[in-house]
Amino acid sequence: EVQLLESGGGLVQPGGSLRLSCVASGFTFSSYALSWVRQSPGKGLEWVSAIGASTTRTNYADSVKGRFTISRDNSMNTLHLQMNSLRGEDTAVYYCAKHPTHVPSAYFDFWGQGTLVTVSS
């Protein structure tokens, strides 16, 4: 059974940093691309960043480019999102999502339950 378990969320002040993690199980982690998707309170889903299976290929939404960094440790089956210079509009539940291929592809076949990030003073 595919499982994605996010952690690392919490309350942080504007301008601060936070590192999210997503531990995966139930599939060959190193063979699949992954993404982070977020949902702000009362709003819809927004794709944040993607990374290929081999880690060399990364993509970011314009809203986070230059502030967030996606990475993965295939030896630990873990995906990370380093978030710097956080803003109020980054407040959201952050989901880890798996692609069905080794490169980021059209859709997400499995998701985690999310971790809440609150940016507030």
Partner 1 sequence: EIVLTQSPGTLSLSPGESATLSCRASQSVSSSYLAWYQHKPGQAPRLLISGTSSRATGIPDRFSGSGSGTDFTLTISRLEPEDFAVYYCQQYSALTWTFGQGTKVEIK
Choose, by CB under 8 A, the member of 81, 114, 115, 119 that binds partner 1.
114
By CB under 8 A, tell whether 115 contacts partner 1.
no
Number of residues counted as binding partner 1 (CB under 8 A): 24
3-state helix vs strand vs coil in the chain, percent to 5 = 5, 50, 45
DSSP state, 119? E
Structure token digits, residue 31: 């063979």
Question: DSSP strand E in 45-114: where?
Answer: 45-51, 58-60, 68-73, 78-83, 92-98, 110-111
Nearest to 48 by CA among 103, 101, 94: 94
Choose, by CB under 8 A, the member of 11, 19, 87, 109 that binds partner 1.
109
Return the range that interacts with partner 1 (CB under 8 A); candidates 12-20, 44-52, 64-72, 80-88: 44-52
By CB under 8 A, tell whether 95 contacts partner 1.
yes
CB 2 within 8 A of CB 99: no
By CB under 8 A, tell whether 17 contacts partner 1.
no
By CB under 8 A, tell whether 50 contacts partner 1.
yes
Q: Give the binding site for partner 1 (CB under 8 A).
A: 4, 35, 37, 43-47, 50, 59, 61, 95, 97, 104-114
